[in-house]
Amino acid sequence: MSRETWEIVQESGIKNVEIQLALQCAPLIAGLKISNLFQISIEDYIQVLKILKNSRIMIYPLGVKGNTIALLLYRKRSLEGYLDQEKVKELLKEFGYSCTSIKEILVTFRKHYQEYLQKKCPFPHEIGFLLGYPPEDVEGFIRNNGQKFLCVGEWKVYENSKAKQKLFQKYDYTRENLIQLLSCGIRMDQIVSIMGA
């Protein structure tokens, strides 16, 4: 992130909901990603609902820990298409998902995530599938226990690192642009509308 953009973030307040959406979810808002994990304080949840109300971005609450709620923000058709890939279905089945509909997968994942929050099980790394990460990288992460990766960006990369590093640069560029738009007085709900999200 450029120094200028970082200063905007600092001036606006790092806890500002619109800034947090830009920092955590810009690639989703811009259509570069199919989903994002978004963590926000419970008191800011209603504002997130209002910002995304007229968009194509769905909101699925995963769980609450302390004063923070974890949300899966996603584009339904895109996530359905991703989850319908043979390799993804095969891997999900291998990791204990007998269901195939997006609704069933989300319900099962939320159960796993909430068990993790209650310290009943380890973190459910299959979240990588819900976040639309390349299947080979999710599989590589799980099989290698997060080790032996080629590079790190939005996720740990196990194959095709050059292409993914370029993608990570696009994500960073998109974050910068959204923060710049916010600094010009454009509201996040307007940005979401402009981006066709």
Task: Give 115-173 pLDDT, tens digit per residue.
Answer: 999 999 999 999 999 999 999 999 999 999 999 999 999 999 999 999 999 999 999 99
Helix (H, G, I), strand (E, B) or coil at 95: coil
Element containing residue 76 per DSSP (H, E):
helix 76-83
Confidence (pLDDT) at 55: 95
* pTM to 2 decimal places: 0.91
Helix (H, G, I), strand (E, B) or coil at 36: strand
Taking CA 39 as the corner, what is the angle to CA 156 and CA 191, rounded to the nearest 5 degrees? 95
Each residue's pLDDT tens digit, 6-49: 676 667 665 689 999 999 999 999 999 999 999 999 999 999 99
Confidence (pLDDT) at 14: 58
Give helix then strand counts, H and E, for the chain.
Answer: 10, 5
The answer to whether 192 and 57 are in contact (CB under 8 A) is yes
Residue 158 CA to its chain's centroid (Å): 19
30 vs 3 pLDDT, higher one? 30
Q: How many domains does the chain divide into? A: 1
Mean pLDDT of 58-70: 96
Query: Binning pLDDT at 50, 70 and 90, where does residue 4 land?
Result: confident
Confidence (pLDDT) at 1: 63
Mean pLDDT of 40-61: 96
- Boundaries of domain holding 27: 3-194
Confidence (pLDDT) at 7: 73
Confidence (pLDDT) at 9: 65
Confidence (pLDDT) at 11: 73
With 90 as the cut, is the pLDDT of residue 72 above it?
Answer: yes
Mean pLDDT of 84-106: 91
| Mean pLDDT taken over the chain | 92
The tokens for 34 are 């199919």
The answer to whether 179 and 11 are in contact (CB under 8 A) is no
